[in-house]
């Protein structure tokens, strides 16, 4: 990995919710900001970042293998989330640890060059296709961790409990590799995974948290056990009310909405991140807000799958935090997710400015790391020195006020990405892995069976200089 810088000087930077000029930050050996000055000139030895520098983005919801599906699920005729899901299962069935490591390395590299420096990976492809364990314990999880290390992204692996194919239904054949015997077996495997990763990986780079796939994927009797036994320090994520059909099935089986079912078992707390939360009742919104839970919106995915537009502003007003994720990676671009969040609210309400630029940056950065149990990115002392610098004079951004770039920029305008004080990307190329497009093309071809998977040692496509103190 590139050498860690000791200091950066930013021509302009987002500090305390506004853009300031001449911002200088100092960094310790762990990549944490120790001091910040504004309105100062650069000093000798500072790494200079032109343009406008923002806290890097924190991806609060990802399924890395879904990247296979980009541009492949739009056949002639109509479709729905449920028809898309069958194609997703086919993609999951093709994965091996070797293929998954290659694919995830490419996906994580794509995230880094676009400005995401941490990711909550909602992971449930645990076992072999027949449901049996791999000979090497935690083989798929280790593959994802190695991919994150190769790309330099901070990974929170959300080990997911997935026990049922629906209310009162067993796992289907295509779901067998996702499952564990019961809640107790999942908790045991989760504890083993946490212990193994604590020994193998730097927790600032790779950590483990927990997820429940959905209320339809975890029977109610197991929710009660998990609520009692899950370690209190772990973030907990769940897909919640993404589809009206899920809500209807939950009410029929339990008499409650998914949010109220979780609340019944004490699972709606500040550590909870409810993903999507698209179809909520007023009572659901109140329960999530009162708990201070995080709601992870994935606007470009929700649009791509025709899920609907969730009540983001209502949730925020009730007390919930809003974070952003890329989910199925139809788009990997924090700027487009920010914009889609605000645009969805405009479409719902008929009003503009429902989320200010400051709100959008908070959703894209600090809210996502909070959902992962990580320090926030940015330039304040104590933050992780995770930054993304934007060119304010491109075809898209020219003329934009710096504080309003969230409404005009895209990932194509990000010229430098910093992770823990290390420059990991410049102008869309990864400092170690080179062009993510080449990696993605090779990985998708390998999953399709057109090319053999690449050994991990050959995944670096090309390199670029990354540790100069000159302007990039």
Residues noted as catalytic: 276, 327
Residues 6+ apart with CB under 8 A from 239: 122, 213, 214, 275, 276
* Residue 327 per-residue DSSP state: B
Q: Are 161 and 218 in contact (CB under 8 A)?
A: yes
Separation CA 373–CA 461 (nearest Å)? 32
| 116-123 and 154-161 beta bridge pairing | parallel
Distance of CA 461 to the CA centre of its chain: 24
Exposed e or buried b per residue across 307-318, where buried means at least 16 C-beta atoms within 10 angstroms of its C-beta = bbbbbbbbbbeb
DSSP per position, 54-92: EEPEEEEEE-GGGGGGTTTS--SS---HHHHHHHHHHHH
Phi-psi region of 286 (alpha: psi -120 to 50; beta: other; left: phi over 0): alpha
Both tokens assigned to 456: 């991990």
Helix (H, G, I), strand (E, B) or coil at 146: helix
Determine the 3-state secondary structure of 33 from DSSP. strand
Q: Which residues pair with 58 in a beta bridge?
A: 118
Give how far Cα 406 sits from Cα of 40, 160, 240, 310, 356, Å. 25, 32, 27, 20, 9
Cα–Cα dist 390/402, whole Å:
10
Kindly give the interhelix angle for 183-200 and 139-151, rounded to the nearest 10 degrees.
40
277 three-class SS:
coil
Q: Which helix (H) or strand (E) holds 20?
A: strand 18-27
299/285 Cα distance (integer angstroms): 18
């Amino acid at each position: 990995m590139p050498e860690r810088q000791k200091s950066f000087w930013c021509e302009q930077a987002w500090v305390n919710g506004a853009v300031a000029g001449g911002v200088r930050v100092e960094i310790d050996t762990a990549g944490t900001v120790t001091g910040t000055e504004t309105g100062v000139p650069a000093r000798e030895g500072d790494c200079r970042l032109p343009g406008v520098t923002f806290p890097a983005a924190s991806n609060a919801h990802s399924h890395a293998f879904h990247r296979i599906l980009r541009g492949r699920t739009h056949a002639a005729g109509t479709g729905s989330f449920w028809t898309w899901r069958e194609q997703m299962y086919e993609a999951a069935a093709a994965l091996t640890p070797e293929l998954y490591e290659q694919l995830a390395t490419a996906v994580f590299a794509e995230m880094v060059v676009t400005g995401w420096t941490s990711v909550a990976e909602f992971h449930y492809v645990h076992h072999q296709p027949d449901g049996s364990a791999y000979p090497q314990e935690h083989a798929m999880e280790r593959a994802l961790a190695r991919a994150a290390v190769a790309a330099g992204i901070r990974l929170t692996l959300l080990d997911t409990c997935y026990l049922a194919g629906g209310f009162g239904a067993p796992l289907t054949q295509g779901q067998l590799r996702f499952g564990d015997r019961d809640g107790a077996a999942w908790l045991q495997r989760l504890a083993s995974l946490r212990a193994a990763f604590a020994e193998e990986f730097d927790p600032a780079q790779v950590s483990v948290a927990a997820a429940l796939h959905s209320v339809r994927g975890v029977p109610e009797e197991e929710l009660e056990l998990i609520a009692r036994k899950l370690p209190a320090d772990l973030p907990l994520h769940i897909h919640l009310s993404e589809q009206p059909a899920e809500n209807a099935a939950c009410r029929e089986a339990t008499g409650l909405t998914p949010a109220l079912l979780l609340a019944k078992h004490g699972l709606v707390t500040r550590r909870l991140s409810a993903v999507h939360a698209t179809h909520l009742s007023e009572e659901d919104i109140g329960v999530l807000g009162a708990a201070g839970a995080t709601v992870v919106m994935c606007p470009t995915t929700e649009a791509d799958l025709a899920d609907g537009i969730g009540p983001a502003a209502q949730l925020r007003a009730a007390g919930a935090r809003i974070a952003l994720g890329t989910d199925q990676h139809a788009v990997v671009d924090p700027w487009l997710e920010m914009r889609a969040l605000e645009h969805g609210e405009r479409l719902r309400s008929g009003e503009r400015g429902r989320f200010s630029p400051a709100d959008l940056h908070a959703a894209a950065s600090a809210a996502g790391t909070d959902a992962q149990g990580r320090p926030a990115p940015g330039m304040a002392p104590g933050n992780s020195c995770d930054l993304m610098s934007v060119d304010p004079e491109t075809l898209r951004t020219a003329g934009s006020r710096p504080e309003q770039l969230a409404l005009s920029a895209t990932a194509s305008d990000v010229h430098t990405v910093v992770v823990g004080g290390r420059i990991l990307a410049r102008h869309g190329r990864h400092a170690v892995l080179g062009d993510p497009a080449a990696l993605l093309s090779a990985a998708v071809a390998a999953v399709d069976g057109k090319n053999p998977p690449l050994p991990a040692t050959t995944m670096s496509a090309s390199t670029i200089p990354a540790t100069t103190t000159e302007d990039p």
